[in-house]
Amino acid sequence: MIVVMTAGATEEQVKKVEERLRGWGFDVHLSRGVARTILGAVGAQKDPSMAPMLEAMEGVEKVVHILTPYKLAGRQFKQEPTQLRIGEVVVGGPRVVVIAGPCAVESEEQILTTARAVKAAGADMLRGGAFKPRTSPYAFQGLEEEGLKLLAKARAETGLPIVTEVMNPRDVELVAAYADVIQIGARNMQNFTLLREVGRCKRPVLLKRGLAATIEEWLMAAEYILSEGNYEVILCERGIRTYETATRNTLDISAIPVIKHQSHLPIVVDPSHGTGKRQLILPMARAAVAAGADGIMVEVHPTPEKALSDGPQSLSLEEFAEMTAALRPVAVAVGRER
Amino acid sequence: MIVVMTAGATEEQVKKVEERLRGWGFDVHLSRGVARTILGAVGAQKDPSMAPMLEAMEGVEKVVHILTPYKLAGRQFKQEPTQLRIGEVVVGGPRVVVIAGPCAVESEEQILTTARAVKAAGADMLRGGAFKPRTSPYAFQGLEEEGLKLLAKARAETGLPIVTEVMNPRDVELVAAYADVIQIGARNMQNFTLLREVGRCKRPVLLKRGLAATIEEWLMAAEYILSEGNYEVILCERGIRTYETATRNTLDISAIPVIKHQSHLPIVVDPSHGTGKRQLILPMARAAVAAGADGIMVEVHPTPEKALSDGPQSLSLEEFAEMTAALRPVAVAVGRER
Amino acid sequence: MIVVMTAGATEEQVKKVEERLRGWGFDVHLSRGVARTILGAVGAQKDPSMAPMLEAMEGVEKVVHILTPYKLAGRQFKQEPTQLRIGEVVVGGPRVVVIAGPCAVESEEQILTTARAVKAAGADMLRGGAFKPRTSPYAFQGLEEEGLKLLAKARAETGLPIVTEVMNPRDVELVAAYADVIQIGARNMQNFTLLREVGRCKRPVLLKRGLAATIEEWLMAAEYILSEGNYEVILCERGIRTYETATRNTLDISAIPVIKHQSHLPIVVDPSHGTGKRQLILPMARAAVAAGADGIMVEVHPTPEKALSDGPQSLSLEEFAEMTAALRPVAVAVGRER
Amino acid sequence: MIVVMTAGATEEQVKKVEERLRGWGFDVHLSRGVARTILGAVGAQKDPSMAPMLEAMEGVEKVVHILTPYKLAGRQFKQEPTQLRIGEVVVGGPRVVVIAGPCAVESEEQILTTARAVKAAGADMLRGGAFKPRTSPYAFQGLEEEGLKLLAKARAETGLPIVTEVMNPRDVELVAAYADVIQIGARNMQNFTLLREVGRCKRPVLLKRGLAATIEEWLMAAEYILSEGNYEVILCERGIRTYETATRNTLDISAIPVIKHQSHLPIVVDPSHGTGKRQLILPMARAAVAAGADGIMVEVHPTPEKALSDGPQSLSLEEFAEMTAALRPVAVAVGRER
């Protein structure tokens, strides 16, 4: 931690900062420049509140952080990439995994038809929402437990592990009883109550990036889960909010190599939410794989024009089969399997 | 709702869209232009899923919305501005209200000292967090129920109504038992489970705008609360995320007149979170009042440099007294009371 | 300048950085922390290329800047606020100035009618574009020199100094021959050729903030002009690009106090471009004045619905008179004149 | 064009809009809904000023555009993709082209060494700046004509066509005399004077996307060039400005398939500026190729740690050779050549 004093900071103000740093157990390196006095605090920073406290002191211009605020999620804590085994699937290994299914579970026929088709086309896991976060209170909110049961039925028939979202801390136990992977949606990325709750549960968690979350905040959200003892976290990039309106969100492909550099956690990419448009899914899925993603999560529906949500960004069953076929050569081109 | 077909849309595709619209009970106006065919759907749109379903149909380029998606939160539902009575305070009336207090309740002495001082300086309500949403799992997370009790003690002594945040749906009842106004934080603006829960409770709700929420999404979040039967919602602008780094967030002052135009709900502004810097609070509070805000919510701490959170953006007790004095002439200049 | 080494940086890498810094004439403070080695470079940094050179060295994680990159535009170079005299108007003094006029000069009648009306309502300067930067090559591009002559005619009659835009370095001399203040538009804020050119001319410059410019980049653009010897620069905040679509841009009111803190240059605010909507101009103009702006620049047109550009954000002559009347009490409330 | 009236619009206001539309030669379809009256204007919209004029009329809520504002740049104007021949290179054909070279031309040795090495590694064109747009007036601004001569020398020796930037309309002729492709930098994307000037010149233009430009604005900038008669435009995505700070910009990979859908112009991607970090260049270059880019433009320097600009985002000669080798299998995987 480095404390930069203002140009007009007095000797006394510098001294007070120094004393405080020493009081917290830091070694202090004082450096008086032409224009600024700077204090370097050497030692482990135990409490994240220290920096804002220093910044609130008189004569302090800013505090510069040297270390990342996340520990367990970082590469320095764990050098080798984390591989998660979910049934027979390994996320974070050589194989680029594909997670597919409808935005929302709507009926037995819909989910079973989809499950069979995506299985046949090579999907590794089945996604589908039973609890749906919807911008409008008047929109379809999901089949709830009934939806979970239909997902379980689809798993029983196809063998595909299930990824499904939880929104309410009260439902974590229920969802965990059915799901193989619990999804935290983008809007709940900083729902810390929910993060702690899934951190205490024994299920892998797929953590979507918030609409306007920095990569650092995203890793801090993962840290909440890890710090509760659940080390099985998969990150999911799904597009960030920018000024551009040609796409629903701007899929941040560069987040993939940044995450690979900063963290040991696996990362998958959702080009459906990331673009909002069916015709962009294939090129963006290819881009994600080329950039090093560990997997793709994509919305698939037997009849997108009848989907109760996200139809415009859902692939039909045929389009999905074409997509998986088209991903394979790209995966191989970057040294992965598919 | 207007459906714009692609340039190459076939007769049959147009017909399918028309049939579907009629099937849903709309009158359809068909307009064939030089370059595009357009279908105007006249009638009430009951289900928000209709537009995405249409967009997923072949030959459809886009669907243009004519009406706002919010109903109860809109000016058309209720012309006159909503005024909320909280104890002796009226939010949304002629008086510009001031809500002040520490980011987090830290101790009895801290909250009582603050409460007395802000009361003396003219504050109308006391804020203070007992449950704190923190980016880091290692940071101070609040005193929880103990904090709520201290807030109640401060209210008992000063008479100031209390504004405090709830994060967990399970805690809504508990928080409502102590608070006069329940706060939904920016990170939970689209925590729909929580919104429904406070919608069912008999307490006014202060709903902060999400970090990257559009004004429309913000009003839709309010709609969740209103649609559950709780009509007492106060909106709170607290800065949005932009690329600018000179401030913590970009306080969107223009949201005030936009909200006044679109909605009947009162709006207050939080220049502490909106800027992140103590020296910017006064000018931005003045700007908010000049633009028509119904109130200001500001962080105040007896010793900002010892605050467990948000010290750099907290006013000292003296600075707060200066601020309230400086707000009055601006309020009067725009025809308000203070 | 502080150089932070990566966690795995070798002794040799640290040594190479140290040698380089010493070679450039810096004193070096070396600080070896638990997790990172840090080098503090003390001395004047003469060349902005040093930091990127260091960052490109092996073992370097990042370089932290201590000083602002602008010099002449900064408060440390000049403590007292700059006041510019333009005819009888002083920008940056006690009076909040008002600059008004049409987006584009369209005809003699249009500009003279407007000039007379805004003069009568208390405007201090007349604005009007003769060279127009338009998103579409097919849109009206301005009357060019003919427009400048009409502006001069309006000045002759009303005595109002003229503010008008230059886009082409070749036209600087021509525009300077007519204008009292030369405007650099938002899209040209980093047109460095043009900045240098107006820096060499003897006319005050009104420098609009770029659509996505940080405050630091904006001050660096001003630095280009100042460094050529032209010290008469007025900054103009006109809204930044964000994800919000309810307004054309997001008017960054907090830029006003930030600029006042960082720079000695005067700042005016353009609520017309900042919002894009007529009904938002008055509240945002009031907000700007309340936050400390030195002036307001606003679009006015005798018949906005016939304006060749920017009609929806232009005030009618009556609306402008109402606005100036409504600004006065706010200016007084914050200790200014109007 | 569709005109949506406000909820309270009067008969007379509707009538005035209708008359105006008819006066401009449109057929008008009037549609009276439950809540809103809507007017559909059928016919060719000749003047981009019509929509803002309508929006400025009383009783009008908004105008919805049906057609894109660009014509010559759009797919509807020209169905088949544009292929540009530059020497022996074809941009927009089956081969993914690679443009490489230093940010700035610094010396004969630097540019010749680089040119030979990138040629040997398979580059198709040489880039290098002689006129440099720099944020700071105190930074190296380029060797100007001397730099152009060195580029010509490098071309003479290696046969590589040259891509170099022009900033000043006055220099277009000079730059065109040396360059094979004239580059318009991101900061000048809406420097309309410069766009017109290169539109009149007989050289292909590489048009970088502005830092905060929408895809529509970018195509409108291309339209400026095309509308002057120069049809040889290459678009270059180089990252957009977002709130994320882990990367210098956010490289918008989804712009590639969007452009391919909307326009016939070829698009290349610059992962150097797009990320600002050397270690992200390879994965992002691969992503761009996988998403369908027609080429990659990348910064290469013999000694990045001594580069006068952009060292941290420049590849060394060895790294560049590795990159081109690693791109080939991805290009082949998506059906391209390399």
SS3 B300: strand
Torsion over CA: A218, A223, A228, A234 (sign): positive
- Lowest-confidence segment of A6-10, C31-35, D161-165 by average pLDDT: C31-35
Percentage helix, strand, coil, to 5, in chain C?
40, 20, 40
Domain co-membership, D60 together with D146 = no
Task: Dump pLDDT digits (tens) for B22-41.
Answer: 999 999 999 888 778 999 99
Q: How many domains does chain A have?
A: 2
Return mean pLDDT, chain C: 96
Ordered per-residue pLDDT tens for chain D, 338 residues: 899 999 889 999 999 999 999 999 999 999 887 778 999 998 877 788 899 999 999 999 999 988 889 999 999 899 999 999 999 999 999 999 999 999 999 999 999 999 999 999 999 999 999 999 999 999 999 999 999 999 999 999 999 999 999 999 999 999 999 999 999 999 999 999 999 999 999 999 999 999 999 999 999 999 999 999 999 999 999 999 999 999 999 999 999 999 999 999 999 999 999 999 999 999 999 999 999 999 999 999 999 999 999 999 999 999 999 999 999 999 999 999 99
- Domain membership of residue B329 (yes or no) is yes
Residue that terminates a domain, selected from A15, A32, A64: A64
What is the percent of chain C where pLDDT is above 90? 92
How many residues are recorded in chain C? 338
- Residues in chain A with CB shorter than 8 Å from the CB of B207 are none
Domain co-membership, C162 together with C33 = no
Domain co-membership, D57 together with D92 = no
pLDDT at residue C67, as a whole number: 86
CB spacing of C284 vs B292 below 8 angstroms: no
- Residues in chain C with CB shorter than 8 Å from the CB of A243 are 241-243
CA angle at residue D235 from D232 to D238, to 5 degrees? 155
Q: Which of D31, D44, D242 sits opposite B42 (nearest CB)?
A: D31
DSSP assignments along B13-40, one per residue? HHHHHHHHHHHTT-EEEEEE-SS-EEEE
Q: Which domain holds residue B303?
A: 84-333
- Tokens representing D82 are 């544009």
User: What residues of chain B, 178 to 207, have a C-beta less than 8 Å from chain A?
Assistant: 187-188, 190-193, 196
- Residues in chain A with CB shorter than 8 Å from the CB of D286 are 290-291, 334
- Domain membership of residue C306 (yes or no) is yes
User: What residues of chain D, 219 to 238, have a C-beta less than 8 Å from chain C?
Assistant: 220, 223-224, 227-228
Domain co-membership, B93 together with B34 = no
Could you tell me which residues are beta bridge partners of residue C104? C129
- Residues in chain A with CB shorter than 8 Å from the CB of B248 are none
SS3 D2: strand
- Residues in chain D with CB shorter than 8 Å from the CB of C137 are 192, 196, 220, 223-224, 227-228
Domain co-membership, B212 together with B305 = yes
CB spacing of A283 vs D257 below 8 angstroms: yes
**Is pLDDT above 90 for A209?**
yes
Touching A: which chains, 3+ CB pairs < 8 A? B, C, D
What is the percent of chain A where pLDDT is above 90? 92
Q: Which of A247, A283, A330 sits opposite D330 (nearest CB)?
A: A330
pTM across the whole model:
0.96
Query: How far is the alpha carbon of B313 from chain D, nearest alpha carbon, in Å?
Result: 21
Block residue for tokens 């119904």: B294
pLDDT band (50, 70, 90) for residue A34: confident
pLDDT at residue A43, as a whole number: 85
Distant-in-sequence contacts of D29-32, Cβ < 8 A, 24+ apart? D29/B29, D29/B31, D29/B40, D31/B29, D31/B40, D31/B42, D32/B42
CB spacing of B191 vs A192 below 8 angstroms: no
Here the ipTM equals 0.95
Q: Which of C246, C280, C292 sits opposite B215 (nearest CB)?
A: C246
Residues C27-53, mean pLDDT to the nearest whole number: 87
Domain co-membership, C235 together with C151 = yes
- Domain membership of residue A163 (yes or no) is yes
- Residues in chain C with CB shorter than 8 Å from the CB of B256 are 283, 287
- Domain of residue B24, CATH code: 3.30.70.1140
pLDDT at residue C285, as a whole number: 98
**Is pLDDT above 90 for A319?**
yes
- Residues in chain B with CB shorter than 8 Å from the CB of A133 are 190, 192
pLDDT band (50, 70, 90) for residue B67: confident
Using alpha carbons, select from A158, A89, A87, A90 the residue that is nearest to residue A119: A158
Domain co-membership, D48 together with D146 = no
What is the count of residue pairs from B and D with beta carbons less than 8 Å apart?
56
Report CA dihedral (C71, C77, C79, C85) to the nearest 10 degrees: -80
- Residues in chain C with CB shorter than 8 Å from the CB of A242 are 243
Domain co-membership, D137 together with D205 = yes
Residue that terminates a domain, selected from C64, C95, C111: C64
pLDDT at residue B43, as a whole number: 85
Q: Which amino acid type is present at position C337?
A: E
Domain co-membership, A146 together with A229 = yes
Search chain D and give the residue with CA nearest C197. D168
- Domain membership of residue C76 (yes or no) is no
Whole-number Å distance between alpha carbons of C292 and D162? 50
Domain co-membership, C148 together with C114 = yes
Query: How far is the alpha carbon of D334 from chain C, nearest alpha carbon, in Å?
Result: 33
- Domain membership of residue B77 (yes or no) is no
- Domain of residue B130, CATH code: 3.20.20.70
Domain co-membership, A250 together with A103 = yes
Q: Which amino acid type is present at position B27?
A: D
- Domain membership of residue C338 (yes or no) is no
Chain B CB within 8 Å of residue D245 CB: yes
Return mean pLDDT, chain A: 96
Q: Which residues contact C59 (CB under 8 A, 6 or more apart)?
A: C5, C6, C8, C9, C10, C13, C14, C16, C17
Block residue for tokens 């088209």: A326
Strands B125-127 and B162-165: parallel
Chain D CB within 8 Å of residue C245 CB: no
User: What residues of chain C, 259 to 288, have a C-beta less than 8 Å from chain B?
Assistant: 261-262, 274-275, 279-280, 283-284, 286-288
- Domain membership of residue A78 (yes or no) is no
Domain co-membership, B58 together with B157 = no
- Domain membership of residue B78 (yes or no) is no
User: What residues of chain C, 71 to 110, have a C-beta less than 8 Å from chain D?
Assistant: none
- Tokens representing D310 are 């952009």
